[in-house]
Structure 1
Amino acid sequence: MSRAETSLQAAWLIHRRPFRNTSLTVDLFLPALGRVGAVVRGGRKDPLLAPFTPLWVELKPSGEMYSLRACEPRGNRLTLTGKALYCGFYLNELLTRLLHRDDPNPSVWPLYEQALSDLQTQTPFDITLRQFELAALEQIGYGIPLDQDIHGHGLAPQAFYQLNPEQGLAQTETGAGYAGADLLAIAQGDWHPAARKAALSLCRHLLAPHLGNRPLKSRELFREK
Structure 2
Amino acid sequence: MSRTEQDLQPAWLLHRRPFRNTSLIVELFLPNLGRVGAVVRGGRKDPSLSPFRPLLVELKASGEMYSLRGCEPRAPTLYLQGKALYCGFYVNELLTRLLHRDDPHPDLWPLYEQTLAALVEGDMLDVVLRQFEIGLLEDMGYGIDLGHDIQGAPVRSDCYYQLDPEQGLRAAAQGYRGSDLLAMLNGDWQADTRRTARQLCRALLAPHLGDKPLKSRELFREK
Q: TM-score range by the shorter chain?
A: over 0.9
Partner of 1:6: 6
Partner of 1:97: 97
2-structure distance, mates of 1:75, 1:17:
23
Deviation at 1:48, TM superposition (A): 0.3
Partner of 1:200: 198
Contact 2:158 2:179 survives alignment (8 Å) = yes
1-structure distance, mates of 2:122, 2:3:
40
Taking structure 2 as the reference length, what is the TM-score of the superposition? 0.99
Deviation at 1:193, TM superposition (A): 0.7
Taking structure 1 as the reference length, what is the TM-score of the superposition? 0.98
Deviation at 1:4, TM superposition (A): 1.5
Partner of 1:63: 63
* Runs of 5+ unmatched residues, structure 1: none
- State yes or no: 1:209 paired with 2:185: no
2-structure distance, mates of 1:51, 1:122:
17
Deviations 1:24-47 (A, max 9, x none): 000000000000000000000100
Please show how residues 180-199 of structure 1 align to structure 2 within 5 Å.
Answer: 180-199=178-197
Please show how residues 125-164 of structure 1 align to structure 2 within 5 Å.
Answer: 125-164=125-164
Deviation at 1:136, TM superposition (A): 1.1
Contact 2:84 2:122 survives alignment (8 Å) = no
Deviations 1:192-217 (A, max 9, x none): 11100000000000000110110000
2-structure distance, mates of 1:139, 1:24:
29
4+ residue segments displaced more than 6 Å: none
Amino acid in structure 2 at the alignment position of 1:73: P
CA 1:122–1:39 in structure 2 vs 1: closer, same or farther (change >3 Å)? closer
Amino acid in structure 1 at the alignment position of 2:101: R
Give me the CA root mean square deviation.
Answer: 0.6
Quote the sequence identity (%). Answer: 67
Partner of 2:121: 121
Deviation at 1:122, TM superposition (A): 4.1
Deviation at 1:17, TM superposition (A): 0.5
2-structure distance, mates of 1:165, 1:2:
34
1-structure distance, mates of 2:163, 2:119:
29
Deviations 1:4-60 (A, max 9, x none): 211001000000000000000000000000000000000001000010000000000
What count of residue pairs does the alignment treat as equivalent? Answer: 223
* Runs of 5+ unmatched residues, structure 2: none
Deviation at 1:123, TM superposition (A): 2.2
Partner of 2:220: 222
2-structure distance, mates of 1:23, 1:211:
28
Partner of 2:177: 179
CA 1:132–1:73 in structure 2 vs 1: closer, same or farther (change >3 Å)? same
